């Protein structure tokens, strides 16, 4: 057992990472029982602050396919790994038999500071595998904050080039740039009640949804105050590889590390896409 962290493993279901004192930080469900129409995938929930406040929302009533903190790709070769209805230019959003699932295959490392997992991204109706993934989840704790370092290496195993798309780049649906690692926050994450210390900011002095949404920045932050406890948390989202165009919807609230925006991301046969992000949760 780590001197700083401890791990509790529910075999075949999930892993919980807690402080050395036993306070849970986050739970990772690697074999979920979510519906196929929600693009079944591993997810982290609940994610908590060091003070114990819950920061994530799992299967919210407005978008049940928002699974707290989870990695998504809106469309891979026409397979919907985001969940929910699929948009096509001809007939808009419809429920279709085109969903995919991320399937846990094995643990390569299972320790409090680092989880390393092998997964396959598969199309449900055909069973074909389009991507192999190695996912590394590292946890670190400081005096007033803790961080989750998420790294995914996605390899194209189809034998041909793949297009990774959002509904803007695929069908021209204006504003639909969402894809990538998705954080669906608890309802109180962004409470804009006139307090200048609460809100949404990003690198370069950007502030507010209009400025941050779609902006290319290396990091963005949410500052919030929790109901009940009245404690405050600052959540920092950082893309290790440099600036990316953030997708934010404060009224839900949600944020996505949208690694592409206007055009599809091409992934050649045998090629690997590396996504590396850090989320830091600070007692503010």
Tens of pLDDT, residue by residue over 99-136, are 999 999 999 999 999 999 999 999 999 999 999 999 99
Mean pLDDT of 85-102: 96
What does residue 113 show for φ and ψ, rounded to 5 degrees? -80, -20
Which sequence spans correspond to the domains of the chain? Answer: 5-283
pLDDT for 193 equals 75
The per-residue pLDDT for 86 is: 96
pLDDT, tens only, 150-206: 999 999 999 999 999 999 999 888 889 999 999 999 998 877 777 888 899 999 999
Q: Do 129 and 121 form a contact (C-beta atoms < 8 A)?
A: yes
Note the pLDDT of residue 195. Answer: 84
Q: What is the tens place of the pLDDT at every residue in 216-266?
A: 999 999 999 999 999 999 999 999 999 999 999 999 999 999 999 999 999
Question: What was the pLDDT predicted at 159?
Answer: 97
Of residues 74, 234, 65, 249, the one with CA closest to residue 168: 74
User: Does the 5-283 domain belong in CATH 2.70.98?
Assistant: yes
The answer to whether the beta carbons of residues 17 and 138 sit under 8 Å apart is no
Q: For residue range 23-77, what is the model confidence (pLDDT) as tens digits? A: 999 999 999 999 999 999 999 999 999 999 999 999 999 999 999 999 999 999 9
Q: What is the pLDDT of residue 175?
A: 87
pLDDT computed for residue 3 by the predictor? 77
Q: How far from each other are the two terminal CA atoms of the chain, in whole angstroms?
A: 29
201, two tokens: 């900011």
């Amino acid at each position: 057992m780590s001197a700083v962290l401890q791990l509790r493993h529910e075999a075949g279901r999930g892993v919980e990472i807690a402080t050395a004192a036993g306070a849970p930080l986050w739970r990772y469900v690697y074999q979920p029982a979510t519906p196929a129409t929600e693009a079944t995938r591993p997810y982290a929930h609940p994610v908590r602050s060091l003070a114990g406040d819950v920061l994530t929302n799992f299967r919210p009533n407005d978008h049940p396919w928002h699974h707290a903190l989870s990695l998504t790709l809106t469309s891979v070769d026409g397979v919907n790994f985001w969940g929910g209805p699929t948009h096509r230019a001809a007939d808009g959003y419809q429920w279709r038999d085109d969903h995919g699932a991320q399937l846990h295959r094995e643990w390569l490392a299972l320790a409090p500071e680092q989880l390393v997992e092998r997964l396959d991204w598969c199309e449900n109706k055909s069973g074909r595998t389009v991507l192999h993934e190695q996912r590394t989840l590292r946890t670190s704790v400081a005096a007033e904050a803790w961080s989750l370092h998420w790294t995914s290496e996605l390899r194209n195993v189809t034998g041909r080039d793949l297009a990774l798309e959002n509904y803007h780049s695929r069908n021209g649906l204006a504003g639909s740039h969402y894809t990538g690692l998705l954080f669906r926050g608890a309802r109180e994450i962004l409470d804009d009640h006139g307090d200048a210390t609460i809100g949404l900011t990003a690198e370069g002095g950007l502030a507010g949804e209009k400025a941050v949404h779609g902006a290319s920045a290396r990091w963005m932050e949410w500052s919030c105050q929790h109901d009940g406890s009245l404690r405050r948390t600052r959540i920092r989202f950082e893309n290790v590889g440099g600036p990316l165009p953030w997708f934010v919807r404060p009224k839900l609230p949600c944020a996505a590390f949208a690694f592409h925006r206007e055009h599809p991301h091409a992934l050649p046969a045998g090629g690997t896409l590396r996504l590396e992000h850090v989320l830091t949760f600070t007692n503010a």
